[in-house]
Amino acid sequence: MFDCSLASTCGFAAAVLIEHGLTGHAVSVRQCTQPASQWRVGGVPIIALVQSHPKVGFKTTDLVVRSEPLSLTSVQFQTLKAKQHVWKWNDSYVNPGPIQFYHDKNEDRDIAKTLHLMYDRTDDLTEEIRGLCNSIQNDTLFTEHKHLLLAALSSLKSAKLVMNSLSQSMGEF
């Protein structure tokens, strides 16, 4: 069900992008581990996904999509490694059978365990950041203390500069 929901969402979002003249964009879906009604869907310019970083077999001027290296210390790899021994001796294969897609909100969706391992913590952190921003916004709505507003603004600007700097140094867009 998850794959059907994701494919349907991506197809619809691609049609909306085209309808609004946003060609050259790729569909982006965030917070996939949440219910589909809470997914954040958008478009990313394809040029933002490429870089002129030299890759084996390409000229230095060629634009290539950045590779995602496999981290042997990642939670996903460590989970796979921990289960390998069990999989040698036990058959864990599951055949879901034919899947019908009915757009039923009550229908259970199986989300790949890898997505949970990759994004559950990120979703929690995103929600915590959103909550803090909302709290700061509420606290500063009717304040008469300009120094508190300046302190909040300065801290947020500093955090944004650090995030931009880290994103650029890691090659993220």
Question: Exposed, middle or buried: residue 33 (CB in 10 Å: 0-12, 13-18, 19+)?
Answer: buried
The distance of Cα 90 from the centroid of its chain, to the nearest Å, equals 33
- Reported as a single tens digit per residue, the pLDDT across 110-152 is 556 666 667 777 777 888 888 888 888 777 777 777 787 788 8
Look up the pTM and report it: 0.47
The distance of Cα 171 from the centroid of its chain, to the nearest Å, equals 16
Residue 33 has pLDDT above 60, yes or no: yes
Segments making up each domain of the chain, as ranges: 2-142
